[in-house]
Structure 1
Amino acid sequence: MSEAALEELLVLSSIYCGPGEFQLLQQSADGVLFQINSAVGGHVGPDVSLSFHLHPSYPACLPGVSVSSTRLSRSQCQYVRRELLERAAALPREAMVHQLVESLQCMELTEDYGRGEQRVEQRDEEEWTSVLLLDHIRSRNHYIRLLERWTHQLQLTGRLLLGRSILVILQGARPDIKEFCSLLKTVKVDVDSSGKKCKERMMKVLIETPLTSSSGHRVQGLVVREYLSLPELSAAFQELQLIELYEQILPSLTEWHHTGSE
Structure 2
Amino acid sequence: MSELALEELSALAAIYCEPDACEVLAVSETHGITFRIQINVKELLDTDVLLKLLFHLPVNYPSTLPDISVNSDQLTRAQCMDVKDKLLEQAKMHLSEPMVHDLILWIQQHLKYVIKQSTTVCNEKTTLSKGTSTEDGIWMLLLHLDHMRAKAKYIKTVEKWASDLRLTGRLMFMGKIILILLQGDKSNIKVQEQ
> Runs (4+) of structure 1 moved beyond 6 Å?
145-148
Identity %: 30
**Equivalent position of 2:100 in the other structure:** 97
> Which consecutive residues of structure 1, in runs of 5 or more, have no partner in the other structure?
132-144, 157-170, 185-218, 225-262
State the Cα deviation string for residues 142-173 of structure 1 (Å, max 9, x = none): xxx999723524x49xxxxxxxxxxxxxx987
> What is the CA RMSD across the aligned residues, in angstroms?
3.6
Residue of structure 2 equivalent to 1:77: 80
Q: How many residues get paired?
A: 152
Counting only pairs closer than 5 Å after superposition, residues 99-178 of structure 1 correspond to structure 2 as 99-107=102-110, 108-109=112-113, 111=116, 113-118=118-123, 120=125, 129-130=135-136, 149-153=164-168, 155=169, 176-177=184-185
From the superposition, tell whether residues 60 and 50 of structure 1 become closer, same or farther in structure 2 (CA, over 3 Å): same
Cα pair distance change 1:51/1:122, threshold 3 Å: farther
Unaligned runs of 5+ in 2: 129-133, 138-159, 171-180
- CA 1:151–1:113 in structure 2 vs 1: closer, same or farther (change >3 Å)? closer
Larger Rg: 1
Deviations 1:157-190 (A, max 9, x none): xxxxxxxxxxxxxx987xx53xx67xx9xxxxxx
When you count strand as a share of all residues, which structure comes out higher? Answer: 2
C-alpha change, 1:102 and 1:96, in structure 2 (3 Å) is same
Task: Pick closer, same or farther for the CA change 1:86–1:220 going to 2, 3 Å.
Answer: closer
- Distance in 2, matches of 1:56 and 1:113, equals 32
Alpha-carbon displacement from aligned partner over 1:190-209 (angstroms, at most 9, x marks no partner): xxxxxxxxxxxxxxxxxxxx
**Paired residue type of 2:97:** E
Map 1:1-262 onto structure 2 (within 5 A). 1-28=1-28, 29-40=30-41, 45-107=48-110, 108-109=112-113, 111=116, 113-118=118-123, 120=125, 129-130=135-136, 149-153=164-168, 155=169, 176-177=184-185, 222-224=192-194
The match for 1:142 is none
- CA–CA distance in structure 2, aligned partners of residues 30 and 146 of structure 1: 13
Secondary structure of the residue that 2:23 maps to in structure 1?
strand
1: CA distance, partners of 2:72 / 2:127: 17
